[in-house]
Chain A
Amino acid sequence: MSQSAIFKGVVVPYLLLAPQLLVTAVFFFWPAAQAIWQSLLREDAFGLNSDFVWFENFVEVLTDPTWLDAALRTALFSVSVATLALGSALFLAVQADRNIRGATTYKTLLIWPYAVAPAVAAVLWLFMFHPNIGVFGRALNALGITWDYRLNGAQAMTLVIFASAWKQVSYNFIFFLAGLQAIPKSVLEAAAIDGASPRYRFWTVVFPLLSPTAFFLLVVNLTYAFFETFGVIHSLTQGGPGKSTETLIYRAYSDGVMNLNLGTSAAQSVILMLLVIALTFVQFRFVERRVHY
């Protein structure tokens, strides 16, 4: 931008930036720095003294089999949520893209679950799958399948995966539909004239053109499954039964808030921060490419 298109002054821009920078410094940078500092300390049993222990907390976390289990469980959970949410959204978007009547109506009817809070989604699913009062919970038991997500870890995991994915499908649907509608019709017609079957056209023409959108959505969905599903797990299973639905975020929360284990909780926070940084990096590297695309 040329010099004449810029306002003079140094005080004014600092004043304009002050509110944002203040909030950022006090509530983001200071706590993040504290987390890093605390992750290197260990308090004694009474919380009176703390010693500088270098990376002992990290070693403790990373060699704790229950933490490693939680990490593995988080990976399984996130991949399942992302696969389920992306797969069903893509399928529905392809159906809605087929030049049919009422596409806008279907769109309206499919996008609103986005607005439902993860914790509320959990309440709705609990009400359907409660073993005693839920429509489906009772039906499963009547069919002779012993269903009780409060006792059976695998069933609890299945339930949190479905409740979490249900909410995310609308988001993916909107982006897949936009991606599909951006594909030039001439390309598809050319393929059709060449005699390619609809299925063949989808996998060889449509899907490759859609892959930037799909990749972007994969990162968004994994981030969602990692961080935002805390509400689903906290209100549906509290990480239980046992530890069968305890994800890394839930673990950091329960170690810090319930068990007041500051050192290892801080070490977990730092590990999770590194994970977010990696995910954000991937996302922005990709978005840059998408702009040129």
Chain B
Amino acid sequence: MRARNIWPHVWLVLGVLIFSFPIYITLIGSTHDASTIGRGDVPLLPGPHALENYAQAWGSGGGRYMGTPAVQMLANSLAMALLIAAGKIVISLLSAFAVVFFRFPGRMICFWAIFITLMLPVEVRIIPTFEVMVNLSLVNTMAGLVIPLIASATATLLFRQFFMTIPPEFVEAAKIDGAGPMRFFKDVVLPLSITNIAALFVILFIYGWNQYLWPLLIINDRGLETIIVGLTKMIGGGDSQNEWNVIMATAVMALLPPVGVVLLMQRWFIKGLVETEK
């Protein structure tokens, strides 16, 4: 009996090791100097150069391709991720509120118009969307990075479903008390939605932080470079002579914020993941 119970542990430990190894070797790479890595002698244990590698990546960037400091790219990514998450949540809360608590002509058309955006990811309309950005002079701006991504069918669907579970008596009571729709929104709907907002925020923050194609298309100003795109530009053609130590330090900084959010807010994360797929 005991022998049989050990197997799940063996497999799971093996699984965890396989899944963590890429991160482990990246961490190790960020603690050695460039020539050690360039020679191909990356040891499996940490080296003594961690501080200087991280300091260089943070303050001045690395590689011969570009020298954007990671601190600046991290700030850009943070701004982008927070604005996308907050923007999606705000405009989806408002639209769902309108669709559930009002009856007006064209209500279902509006709902379907939002729903259909699920079927039009950026990837399938690259060029025309870029043209719109040029016409609106949104290329190379933070607004251009954020605004086109804040429409959200998923978040609207989620809030709509949740609002429909709010008992009608709440609305009636609010009306008897003489509260208008916005008062009802602020004092009843928002407080009830807090857990949903938190769960969604975790998912959307990761979504925003990890954007790749969109920033790649519309940003070529280094001052607005995000950490994910900046990191891949540092690699270029993948030469052995790259400053891999600095690149690995940058990679660690690029993945730490979203991974940290998942680990620290694990319960919200799982709730958000499961809810958005319903």
- Which A residues fall within an 8 A CB radius of B? 1-2, 4-7, 9-10, 12-14, 16-17, 19-21, 23-32, 34-35, 38, 88, 91-92, 95-96, 98, 100, 102, 106, 108-128, 130, 132-133, 135, 138, 150, 166, 169-171, 174-175, 178, 216, 220, 227, 230-231, 234-235, 249, 252-253, 256-257, 262, 265-266, 269, 272-273, 276-277, 280, 287, 291
Tell me whether A273 and B127 are in contact (CB under 8 A).
Answer: no
Question: Given A14-B104, A112-B263, A150-B238, A277–B119 Cβ distance below 8 Å?
Answer: yes
- Determine chain B's interface SS by DSSP, over half rule: helix
- B205's nearest neighbour on chain A, judged by CB, is A115
Judge whether B231 and A123 touch: CB under 8 Å. yes
Q: Which A residues lie within 8 Å of B277 (CB)?
A: 175, 216, 220, 287
Given the interface pairs A106-B16, A127-B26, the reply to whether A23 lies near B104 with Cβ below 8 Å is no
Task: Tell me if B232 is interfacial: C-beta within 8 Å of chain A.
Answer: yes
List, in ascending order, chain A residues with CB within 8 A of B37's CB: 133
Q: Determine if A231 and B168 form an interchain contact, defined as CB atoms under 8 angstroms apart.
A: no
Q: Which of chain A's residues have a CB closer than 8 A to the CB of B40?
A: 132-133, 138
Cβ contact of B8, chosen from A100, A118, A132, A174, cutoff 8 A: A100
Interface pair B5/A128, CB less than 8 Å apart: no
Partner of B127 from A25, A113, A130, A257 at Cβ < 8 Å: A257
The distance from the CB of A258 to the nearest CB of chain B, in whole angstroms, is: 11
Partner of A16, one of B5, B98, B151, B274: B98
Q: Which B residues lie within 8 Å of A20 (CB)?
A: 91-92, 94-95, 114, 151-152, 156
- Which residues of B62-95 are within 8 A (CB) of A? 90-92, 94-95
Q: In whole Å, how far is B15's beta carbon from the nearest beta carbon of chain A?
A: 5
Q: Which residues of B contact A123 (CB under 8 A)?
A: 26, 231-232, 235, 247, 251
B244 contacts chain A at the CB level, 8 A cutoff = yes
Please report the C-alpha to C-alpha distance between residue A43 and residue B228 in the assembled complex, in whole angstroms.
35
Residue among B110, B124, B274 with the highest chain A CB neighbour number at 10 A: B124
Q: A20-B94, A135-B25 are in contact. Are A120 and B254 (CB under 8 A)?
A: yes
B158 at the interface (CB under 8 A from A): no
What is the CB-to-nearest-CB distance from A262 to chain B, in angstroms, rounded to a whole number? 6
The answer to whether B168 touches A16, judged by C-beta atoms less than 8 angstroms apart, is no
